[in-house]
Amino acid sequence: MKRFFFILLILLIIFVIAVYVIQPSWIPKEVLKWLSKNEANKELTIYGNVDIRQVDLGFRVKGRVALMPFQEGDFVAVGSLMALLDKQPYEDQVLEEEAHIESADASLTNAALLLERRNVLLGTGGISKQDIDDAITGKKIAHANLKEAQASLGIAQTNLKDTELYAPADGTILTRIREPGTVVREADPIYTLSLNSPIWVRTYVSEPQLGLIYPGMAAEVYTDTPGGHVYQGHIGFISPVAEFTPKTVETTQLRTDLVYRLRVIVDNSDHGLRQGMPVTVKLPLKN
């Protein structure tokens, strides 16, 4: 009996090899096609490119660049001081606005004293009601001028803080656009920062494959490097709009193919994934 089961096991192994490797002619083509289709349906393989979010960094105020400590390729941590403008004009502006506040405060104090004196004189008949109204109006104007000066000081202090540029997130300097000594305008980019996270893969699926996938579906990302690291991820976005692709081909058949754009978010990304890198994405399908 044991010998019978051993022989049966050997025959079963030979049959499996014949079906999936040799595929002899005596096996019906319909059976081979069904087996191959069933095996392929276990996962969906698609191809795409790594897409890394980039940020152009610049100042909210204009001025002369005084410091740029990082070079292209340098890693920067969130909160690192990346650049500095000449502070002197903005420090002078703060001092000027502080002086305006002192002047407005003195004017308000004087207006309040004037109103108080006229209120005393009003009971003696030595002053008119119009003089009282003018004193009240003068005090209100002085108070408004003080509030305006305080707001201007706040703006000046904010502008002074904006002479310092900090990294908004962990990343790598992709481009160093300016150099110290350059006079820049508001929002002129001085660095391009490639963010470490999030990193995703932009890829596409055909319309018949759309029903096989869903947001949150697990994915594996492979690079072309032999024996390279396998990245785990998930589908984060499926475009609701179909588009024609590729756009540059001239054949009518390919121009009319409808595809849907996917965003596969990589959960365990590292420095091995670079902008534009071609990758293979495998999506395990349910049986």
**For 101-119, what is each residue's pLDDT tens digit?**
999 999 999 999 988 888 8
- In 145-257, DSSP assigns E strands to 164-166, 171-176, 183-184, 189-206, 218-223, 231-238, 243-244
The amino acid at 248: T
- Helices and strands (H, E) in the chain, number of each type: 5, 13
Q: Alpha-carbon distance 247 to 163, whole Å? A: 44
| CATH number belonging to domain 55-192 | 2.40.50.100
- Nearest-angstrom CA–CA distance, 188 and 166: 15
Model pTM score: 0.69
Question: Each residue of 200-251: pLDDT tens digit?
Answer: 999 988 888 888 899 999 999 999 888 888 999 999 999 988 887 655 444 4
pLDDT band at 80 (very low <50, low <70, confident <90, very high): very high
Residue extents of the structural domains in the chain = 1-40, 55-192
Contacts with 236 (C-beta within 8 Å, 6 or more apart), sequence order: 200, 215, 263, 264, 265
**Mean local confidence (pLDDT), 184-194:** 95
* Mean pLDDT for all residues in the chain: 84
Whether 76 has a pLDDT exceeding 60, the answer reads yes
C-alpha closest to that of 161 among 220, 84, 95: 84
